[in-house]
Chains A and B, each alone.
Chain A
Amino acid sequence: MNDDAQSIQNSVKDYLLKTFLPGEDPDSLTPDTPLISGGILDSISTVKLVTFLEEQYKVEFQAHEISSDTLETLTDIAKTIQLKSAARA
């Protein structure tokens, strides 16, 4: 799998649109849309997103990492996954 930032963003975007934003115009979800503070992900959907990321990218999140520092935007998510993948390798 190609884990560069763009492909991570694309795949997470697809997942978010399909799972939490059915019918939404894909252009509305930009790399900088605030997902947590913007009310798009609530606590249950955040758990689902983290589970998806852990399974898809074979990474693990610590408790303090489930926050708007790491998951606030698609850009943040891609950065977090890349850092975690690099640490694992």
Chain B
Amino acid sequence: MTRLHQFLERSAQAYPEKTAVVDAERGVSATYSELQKQAEAIQEQLAAAGVVAGDRVGICMPKSIGSFAGLFGALRAGAAYVPVDSTAPAVRNALIFNDCAVRAILVAGNLAESLCAELGDGRYRSAGELAFLAPHGVPAVLLVAEPRTEQRFDGVDTSNLAYILYTSGSTGKPKGVMHTHASALAFIDWCSELFAPNADDCFSSHASFHFDLSILDIYVCIKHGGKLVLLGESLGKQPAKLAEVILSERITIWYSTPSILRLLAEYGQDAQHDRVALRVVFFAGEVFPVKHLRAVMAMWPKPRYLNLYGPTETNVCTYYEVPVTFPESRTEPFPIGKDCSGDVCMVADERGQEVPHGEEGELFVKGGSVMRGYWNLPQRNAEAFFIDKQGGHWYKTGDVVKVNADGDYEYLGRRDRMVKRRGYRVELGEIEAALYTHESVSEAAVVATPDVENGVVIRAFLNWSGDKSPSLIAMKQFCSKKLPLYMIPDKFIPVVALPKTSTEKVDYQKLLEME
């Protein structure tokens, strides 16, 4: 069976001198043979540091050619890579790396010290700089677990793991979604069928590597010998410049959350959009308000528009192609579509029984693209899957859907307290757990409400014991030390007491109604 890094090996043989990757922010690029050599060099360093098959390798670097090569270097070493948001607080990244006991970490030089401090005294030592990455922009350091001890995780099968992506956890601790080479391949091969990528294609890489949208960009592009354009954090915040890059690099395949497409339509108008080379625009991660989708389609009328749906746990499991034209009066969002070829979905009730056609229920998914499970969370794994009488494992998405007259799934909402913000999953419970660590907060409850302008607005209600009302600035600063930026609430509201239900639980319904 193919393993993900073999896509790079094969393309490096077929197209050694072709540009594989461009870092649009730093203005540097690498050919397929250069990228392959970097991946080999990283593999050698990891092996020399004691990394063996079945280990995990952390990656804490801004998006760059070096971090890109790092993914392939880790895979070549037989390890699963564990990418984190390099802009997130070091305490959160250290929690993730400690949770899955990474054997080694590729970390940007300027972040190494703070990360080491949070990882714990003497647990990791520096095995030196990765000097060969410096010409491509980001100096990096290799950290190695010290001393080497055998770690056992009962019930975790690390063989054939390709990567672990951590998503927000409801109890305040992020949880690691484990994907194997096989589950990633099932998705990548389906993409090949869907839009026939080829070596002339140029892919955007807008999503960070710790975000599951990156799997399509990285591997579908490299599999087919295309060119990948890395759009880093800073560039990603400047729609006018992004529009120029789409034009100048002749990007043909775009994939991002709706929010950045909306910004492109709003602020990227100056570029000559009739000359863009785009042929497919994918979006995923959150509902795309039709008003904004219409503006994007007016800006770029030529490409196909496809909505991909799937939690990190399933890669992508349904898809929907937006019709070329639709009534001006339409305001309701488009459906999430039909099953991808390798997966089977069903709409089920609480007992796992399929509901009658057209009725509401939870979307269950089984098939090749579904994750192996959560890292070291046996109980959570038992709850996450429904096992049918034939032994089929269905992942319970938590998303409430129904099938419409055209046979497409329509997304209706969530069963639990997870929301999507800028495509990222946010467990409101994780925000509450962070707020509870504030000395003036005796009780915290967080709710999210849909918002046309911002997608979702997150409000934190606080039973506040401080002298003065909480300052928005001070509270945001406090949260920024505990949580990634996309999880910081928009508003902090002091209350005398949180409303409670008859069973003394927080009455979230009442909070939602409060101004």
Q: Do the two chains bind? A: yes
Name the A residues within 8 Å of B24 (CB-CB). Answer: 63
Question: Are A40 and B476 CB-contacts (below 8 A) given A25-B471, A47-B267?
Answer: yes
B172 within 8 A of partner (CB): no
CA–CA, A46 and B422, complex, Å: 14
- CB within 8 Å of A: which residues of B? 24-26, 87, 233-239, 241, 259, 263, 267, 422, 454, 471-474, 476-477, 479-480, 485-486, 488
Could you say which residues of chain A place their CB within 8 Å of the CB of B25?
Answer: 63-64
Nearest neighbor of A54 in chain B, beta-carbon distance: B240
CB atoms of A24 and B472 under 8 A apart: yes
Shortest beta-carbon distance, A69 to chain B, in Å? Answer: 9
In the complex formed, the residue of A with least CB distance to B233 is A67
Q: Which residues of A contact B422 (CB under 8 A)?
A: 42-43
- Alpha-carbon gap, A67 to B235, bound state (A): 9
- The residue of chain B having its C-beta at the shortest distance from the C-beta of A70 within the complex is B234
CA distance A37 to B477 in the complex (A): 8
Q: B485: which of A39, A47, A64, A65 is its contact (CB, 8 Å)?
A: A39
Judging by beta carbons under 8 Å apart, are A44 and B263 in contact?
Answer: yes
How many residues on the A side are at the interface (Cβ–Cβ under 8 A)?
26
Q: Which residues from B are CB-within-8-Å of A28? A: 471-474
* A66 and B238 within 8 A (CB): yes
Give bound CA distance, A61 to B234, whole Å: 11
Given contacts A25-B471, A63-B241, A64-B25, contact A43 B476 (CB under 8 A): no
Q: Are the CB atoms of B476 and A38 closer together than 8 Å?
A: yes
Q: Chain A CB within 10 Å — which of B236, B237, B454, B474 has the most?
A: B237
Is A85 part of the binding interface, using a Cβ–Cβ cutoff of 8 Å? no
Residues of B close to A39: CB separation below 8 A: 476-477, 479-480, 485, 488
Q: Which residues of A contact B233 (CB under 8 A)?
A: 67
Q: Is A56 an interface residue (CB 8 A)?
A: no
Interface residue? A6 (CB, 8 A): no
User: Are B471 and A46 in contact, CB atoms less than 8 angstroms apart?
Assistant: no
Chain A residues closer than 8 Å to B486, beta-carbon distance: 42
Kindly report which residue of chain B lies nearest to residue A40, judged by CB atoms: B476
Give the nearest-CB partner of B468 in chain A. Answer: A25
Contact of B235 (CB < 8 Å), options: A42, A51, A63: A63
Measured CA separation A43–B471 after assembly (Å): 21
Cα A33 to Cα B238 in complex, Å, equals: 23
- A66 proximity list for chain B (CB < 8 A): 234-235, 237-238
A71 CA to B479 CA in the complex, in Å?
Answer: 20
A-B contact pairs, 16 of them (CB 8 A): A24-B473, A28-B472, A38-B473, A39-B477, A39-B480, A40-B476, A42-B485, A44-B263, A44-B454, A47-B267, A50-B238, A51-B267, A63-B25, A64-B26, A66-B235, A67-B233
- Over the window 9-29 of chain A, the binary record of Cβ atoms lying under 8 Å from chain B Cβ atoms (1 yes, 0 no) is 000000000000101110011
A34 contacts the other chain (CB 8 A): yes
Complex Cα distance, B454 from A21, in Å, reads 15
